[in-house]
């Protein structure tokens, strides 16, 4: 289990541990999360799913949207982090950076 990240023309998957790691280490070199937008519908089947008290979190897979600017800022912070990242993490960090650059924002599902 984990998160599927779905962009305009690309998608990727991360397990929960790697997704949490990306969000955590992105904050260290300067990413300031803008917050996600509330899921307005289930993007898998089109049914309406409303979250009136949405708090902008990244830690669930409810179909929330990450904006282009937020994805770009997270990718930039992770690029800075790469210089000190453990070698075993570099591959999936680079994969996520590439995804962010191509995604035009993305949904977390």
For the segment 38-78, what is each residue's pLDDT rounded down to a tens digit?
A: 887 555 555 555 677 889 999 999 899 999 999 999 999 99
Please give the residue range of the domain that contains residue 47. Answer: 2-108
In this prediction the pTM is 0.88
> In which element (H, E) is residue 90 found?
helix 87-103
Q: Are 41 and 63 spatial neighbours (Cβ–Cβ below 8 Å)?
A: yes
Domain count, the chain: 1
């Amino acid at each position: 289990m984990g998160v599927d990240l779905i962009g305009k023309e690309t998608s990727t998957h991360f397990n929960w541990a790697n997704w949490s790691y990306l969000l955590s280490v992105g904050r260290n070199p300067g990413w300031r999360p803008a917050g996600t937008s509330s899921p307005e519908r289930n993007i898998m089947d089109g049914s309406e799913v409303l979250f009136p008290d949405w708090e902008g979190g990244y830690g669930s897979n409810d179909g929330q949207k990450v904006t282009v600017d937020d994805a770009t800022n997270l990718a930039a912070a992770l690029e800075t982090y790469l210089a000190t990242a453990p070698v075993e993490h570099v591959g999936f960090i680079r994969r996520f950076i590439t995804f962010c650059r191509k995604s035009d924002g993305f949904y977390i599902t």
